[in-house]
Amino acid sequence: MRYCVGIDLGSTTTKAVIVGEGGEILGRGITNSRSNYKVACDVALAEALIDARFARVSAELTPAASNEEQRGRLLRGLELRFREQQYRSHLAYFAAAVLRLLDAGGSASHVRAAVEWILERMSAETSTLYAEGGRRKSDFFRDVAGSRYMHLAEEASRERGASFDRMAGLFDKAILEVENRPADPDSFAVHARAAARALGESLPGLGAAVERAAAVPMERNAGVGTGYGRSTLPFPKDRIRSEILCHGLGAHAMFPGTRTVLDIGGQDTKAIQVDSSGIVTSFQMNDRCAAGCGRYLGYIADEMNLGLHELGPMACGARRAVRINSTCTVFAGAELRERLSLGERREDILAGLHRAIILRSMSLLARSGGVFDEFTFTGGVARNPAAVAALDGVVRENYGDLTMNISPDSIYTGALGAALFARRETLRCGSAEAEARA
């Protein structure tokens, strides 16, 4: 299968989308961004290829599954077991790194005993973590493992007298080793096989479908990079596009009627106007200050000791939105603490914080020329239901009734645009990269 890849290297996450020769999306992958950009890109691409192979498994299963619902359930089960296997693999690597660091650092025996206890507990609770309906702080190993490790380290510190700082320091070092681990090209085959075995014989032919999907050759035609770290991506200069163009084209591909795009990413907010072909006609980005971007929510999540994914759903439980005046992230944190001390409900405060970031993006939209029908909201923050609800309300107040598009895959908009640019390049250059390889 030949594909074109678009990689969006953002400040918080790195996304990859692969499209087929007809421009159809084959797979999407995401990982947390890290200091080693190349590894982040490789991991995101590897995840997109895994996603594409899962789609292949689904196609292979079609004749065997009795109905769509059954197939869907089975695939979700397969993927959950796959993620469990993947987590176990990372955890084993992480544990080895921690123990190596312990050896090198010459730690006291009670620290070693505490760390070994943490690692054993983490390994033992993996099944619970990946049980049907299990709650995880995020999809990234750093967040999932970090959350559990720190929780257990607090307990170990309290009950076993080991230094929390020492244990936290070990995590910080070891997680870097895990994150700098190169992507494993055989990851799908290894973990999917194990996942299929774990599911037993719930559907005849599952193992064979996994084998056939794993065997499909994936050949890359071209790639285009975008995002904040794009200049460091392993692509030639002419294969790098600004995220503005990629978000414009990606939004157009997802919703062809799009005229205005709002993208709230980790550290910048973009208001983009596009024409009927997805070509950007004007744009505005926040410049002097990054308040009101995704990082704002990340900061608030940390302040409240919550996962980023938990913020929106909690804010949706608000009875009213507390007015938050500060546009500065740090000051908003101070306002948050003050409101909590005054006895305001966390849900209400969070709703106010979501409204504050949306109001900030409204001035950027106004600056770019306003909001036109259809309006598409993209970026990581578009996955947050409270942000979406606040935006919907404010946009309608200011610009009247219009179609507002939000895709569950909106975080991939930039990467999709980049992949489509890559495809165009392939068509234009007559597949120069492929020829060179041949």
Positions touching other proteins (CB under 8 A) are: 228, 241-245, 268, 277, 279-285, 287-288, 367, 369
For the bound state, the minimum distance from the C-beta of residue 411 to other proteins, rounded and expressed in Å, comes to 19
- Are the C-beta atoms of residues 311 and 350 closer than 8 Å to each other? yes
Identify which of residues 127 and 281 has a Cβ nearer to other proteins in the complex.
Answer: 281
For the bound state, the minimum distance from the C-beta of residue 354 to other proteins, rounded and expressed in Å, comes to 25
Identify which of residues 147 and 242 has a Cβ nearer to other proteins in the complex.
Answer: 242
For the bound state, the minimum distance from the C-beta of residue 281 to other proteins, rounded and expressed in Å, comes to 6
DSSP 40-81: HHHHHHHHHHHHHHHHHHHHHHTTTSSSHHHHHHHHHHHHHH
CA atoms within 13 A on the CB side of 433: 20
Identify which of residues 336 and 371 has a Cβ nearer to other proteins in the complex.
Answer: 371
For the bound state, the minimum distance from the C-beta of residue 288 to other proteins, rounded and expressed in Å, comes to 5
For the bound state, the minimum distance from the C-beta of residue 402 to other proteins, rounded and expressed in Å, comes to 20
Distance CA 35, CA 134 (A): 30
SS3 at position 223: strand
Q: Which helix (H) or strand (E) holds 186?
A: none
For the bound state, the minimum distance from the C-beta of residue 286 to other proteins, rounded and expressed in Å, comes to 9
- Are the C-beta atoms of residues 192 and 78 closer than 8 Å to each other? yes
SS3 at position 32: strand
Neighbours of 41 (CB within 10 A): 29
For the bound state, the minimum distance from the C-beta of residue 295 to other proteins, rounded and expressed in Å, comes to 14
Which residues have C-beta within 8 Å of that of residue 173, sequence separation ≥ 6?
97, 101
Comparing C-alpha atoms, which of 197, 164, 167, 208 is closest to residue 57? 208
Identify which of residues 272 and 388 has a Cβ nearer to other proteins in the complex.
Answer: 272
Distance CA 296, CA 104 (A): 38
Identify which of residues 119 and 251 has a Cβ nearer to other proteins in the complex.
Answer: 251
DSSP 250-312: HHHHH-TT--EEEEE-SS-EEEEEE-TTS-EEEEEE--S--TTSHHHHHHHHHHTT--HHHHH
Identify which of residues 56 and 259 has a Cβ nearer to other proteins in the complex.
Answer: 259
Identify which of residues 279 and 432 has a Cβ nearer to other proteins in the complex.
Answer: 279
